[in-house]
Structure 1
């Protein structure tokens, strides 16, 4: 590694320590052995205004300095497009990235590992976090699963070139990797909608699962769950509005043809659609309507916020009329009734912050309580 890269890495880690993102000497030492730029030699995309992205390649001015900024760097667009594939700009959605180092290191510290523990990482990505894990624990105690075969191949190349040889698996991370278990810790570097049963089954009783729980209303929180002997798991949210791309198998399905929004039953509601503009309240609402997606429409002189559950066919449209909020619903599940009930429990608990909440996962589902 060049003197400039070493200096940039040291500056980054010192800044993260001063800012409180990096709190322990053990993880600072581990991160100090890993060169982030070696996992970004294929370049990355930077935002070029609006939803446009433009490539930054290894030979471009500022590439190395950007690798050591505390920023997430997009490495793949639309599932297949890499920085070297693009000239100019592209208007598509990111599908893979190198997470900002402060979040990587915060999560590794929150994982509460001890020497000798076996860790399963869900989402290898560029391989940077995998390398830091291996530097702390030893490569023989780290297993990492990546869904995208091309992403997995690039990560393996970067790791092997640095002499790092953890167990790397290409496959659906939601299934874990039973052959390598049981694990003392599981950490997910992708967002998930529901905690997979396989992760619980593959974690030793007393072990921890660190995962960002999100959903199709686009709000998420980091949770640290303890696995019990009875096959259930629960634990606190850790706060901070942590956000990752959802695991691809849990991405929202296409809405398709909209339902007849003139149908259904109307009633007045004490909770308006404006609650869905707040990150924490959207997160809470997702536990009441876990399969709902949101869209905003202008209809009949009103702006309607519409929740649609394409799994059940249920929907709810909420709009304001003469200072009153109205909910119109149809389908087997009354979505806004469920949201109101969830908010009622939250209000009764004193409207606590997310880190006062506990997530519990059983065979009957996933719940949020205060």
Structure 2
């Protein structure tokens, strides 16, 4: 991947017009104007200066180069949406010679986040003059540039696993007159030489908060990270570190980031889980699978938080007589799996297949019923406490107080009634 050429770093009339359009969109998306210090950073650190010559756009990840399609490229740069800046971890991704990846499939592996998410996270981060910030996931360098403009380069450290992305970001930042410390390394390990930090912010999602982040944040400091489970990629987690080294805080909705690389689970049902000689148990359910794995983000978030080692996959029109759609479930250790079959005609009674030491559909159904009894809470009602040794306990804040979610319980405490 090459940096955009010198022409990409000018801010001419077209770029200024695009920036004004994005600023208007941000006011609407954030329900108000940017804080003055962030608006100054927005103009001083233009987003287009931090995008590569080639990006990938639309759902099919079509390559778009600035030289061949400058208007399309600039629209992507200043749309209020993410821009994919690397595919397939930069390995055999067709960057240099235009070829498709070896398996014919492009998978986004790095991107410039949607600007509204960037500035919403900066608002939640609540940096103050004099703060020292550790960023996990340098990516293009734009977020590090905004922070460096706000706080001063010497107060910002950013860690990037991919050495090529790290080098490119450092060059772009220098061209913009900014020189935060850019470290090539595993973001899960943080950067101990610069600790303690007042703020730690991740631009990739996690399923478990790395212990190093807690250890490198001062008491009273804040860790802000996108969150996901194998069930659902959704949410932001804002933790405050305590004097004893633990941290606790709440979730907020509406974000989806790529998972930190050392927590990825690349699992496939037929390659890794289901074997021909396995004999599952058959049962039935009246719970529609779309209720737990459909369009309700609050339900999906709650299930993923309560059952953090279960993932799912839809299989439409499987080659199975009488089955129009199938929802697969499996544990991340691949020891248990389940399938729920819909015949395409009725939602009253669906066939369930379950195999392994756990009955996964039973667990999902019980969790969903618990969530309904609790009043169908959204992500903002949930929180997480992390101990110094890394143990994570999710909790639900109800009218009656805080209810930990480690066990499926019933009763008045769940709803506050």
- TM-score where L is the length of structure 2: 0.80
The equivalent of 1:271 in structure 2 is 287
Matching of residues 193-208 of structure 1 within 5 Å: 193-208=207-222
Query: Does 1:212 find its partner at 2:223?
Result: no
Which residue in 2 is equivalent to 1:353? 378
Deviations 1:6-49 (A, max 9, x none): 343234224322443654222112222102111124231222xx
Distance 1:257 1:243, change over 3 A: closer
Q: Is 1:66 matched with 2:76?
A: yes
Which of 307, 311, 325 in structure 1 is aligned with 2:333? 311
CA shift for structure 1 position 118: 0.9
Q: Is the Cα contact below 8 Å between 2:30 and 2:120 reproduced in 1?
A: no
Task: State yes or no: 1:33 paired with 2:26.
Answer: no
| Offset, 1:102 | 1.5
Contact 1:70/1:101 (8 A) holds in 2: yes
Change (3 A) 1:71 1:348: same
Q: Does structure 2 retain, via aligned residues, the 8 Å contact 1:296–1:305?
A: yes
**3-state SS, counterpart of residue 338 of structure 1:** helix
- Structure 2 counterpart of 1:54: 63
8 Å Cα contact 1:287-1:368 kept in structure 2? no
Does the C-alpha gap of structure 1 residues 288 and 300 become closer, same or farther in structure 2, counting only changes over 3 Å?
farther
Residue in structure 2 matching 1:247, options 233, 239, 260: 260
Residues 76 and 82 in structure 1, CA contact (< 8 A), matched pair in contact too: no
The offset of 1:229, in angstroms, is 2.3
* Pairing partner for 1:147 from 153, 161, 166: 161
1:117, distance to aligned residue in structure 2 (A): 1.0
When the two chains are superposed, the root-mean-square deviation of aligned CA atoms in Å is 2.5
CA deviation after TM superposition for structure 1 residue 108, in Å: 0.6
Residues 175/121 of structure 1: CA separation in 2 closer, same or farther (3 Å cut): same
CA distance in 2, matches of 1:113, 1:135: 12
Uncovered stretches (5+) of structure 2, i.e. residues with no partner: 1-9, 398-417
1:167/1:272 Cα in 2 relative to 1: closer, same or farther (>3 Å)? Answer: same
Instruction: Give the equivalent residue in structure 2 for 1:167.
Output: 181
Tell me if the contact between 1:194 and 1:366 (Cα under 8 Å) persists in the aligned partners. no
Quick check: 1:120–1:186 contact (8 Å CA) kept in 2?
Answer: yes
Aligned-partner Cα distance in 2 for 1:228–1:336: 38
CA distance in 2, matches of 1:325, 1:231: 48
Q: Is contact 2:197-2:221 (8 Å) kept?
A: yes
Asked if structure 2 preserves the Cα contact closer than 8 Å seen for 1:40 and 1:126, the reply is: yes
Q: How many pairs align? A: 367
Q: Is the 8 A contact 2:138 2:158 kept in 1?
A: yes
CA distance in 2, matches of 1:97, 1:317: 33
Whether the 8 Å CA contact 1:285–1:342 is kept in 2: the answer is: yes
Deviation at 1:84, TM superposition (A): 5.3
Could you say what secondary structure the match of 1:237 adopts? strand
Higher mean C-alpha displacement, 272-281 vs 191-200: 272-281
Distance change >3 Å, CA 134–CA 58, structure 1 → 2: farther
Deviations 1:97-118, CA, capped at 9 Å, x for gaps:
1112111111111111111111
- Measure how far apart 1:142 and its partner are: 0.7
Q: Which residue of 2 aligns with 1:343?
A: 368
Residue pairs, 1:132-143, within 5 angstroms: 132-143=146-157
Matched, 1:183 2:194: no
1:78 and 2:82 aligned: no
TM-score by length of 1: 0.90
Matched, 1:10 2:10: no
Correspondence for 2:359 among 327, 331, 334: 334
Q: Alignment partner for residue 131 of structure 1, among 125, 145, 150?
A: 145
Residues 334-365 of structure 1: CA deviation (Å, up to 9, x unaligned): 32333233323322221122222222333433
- Cα 1:344–1:18 shift into 2, 3 Å: closer
Within 1, Cα distance between the matches of 2:128 and 2:156?
A: 13
CA 1:52–1:118 in 2, change beyond 3 Å: closer, same or farther?
Answer: closer
CA contact (8 A) 1:225 1:233 kept: yes
Q: Secondary structure at the match of 1:156?
A: helix
Q: Which residue is equivalent to 1:290? A: 308
Pick closer, same or farther for the CA change 1:94–1:19 going to 2, 3 Å.
Answer: closer
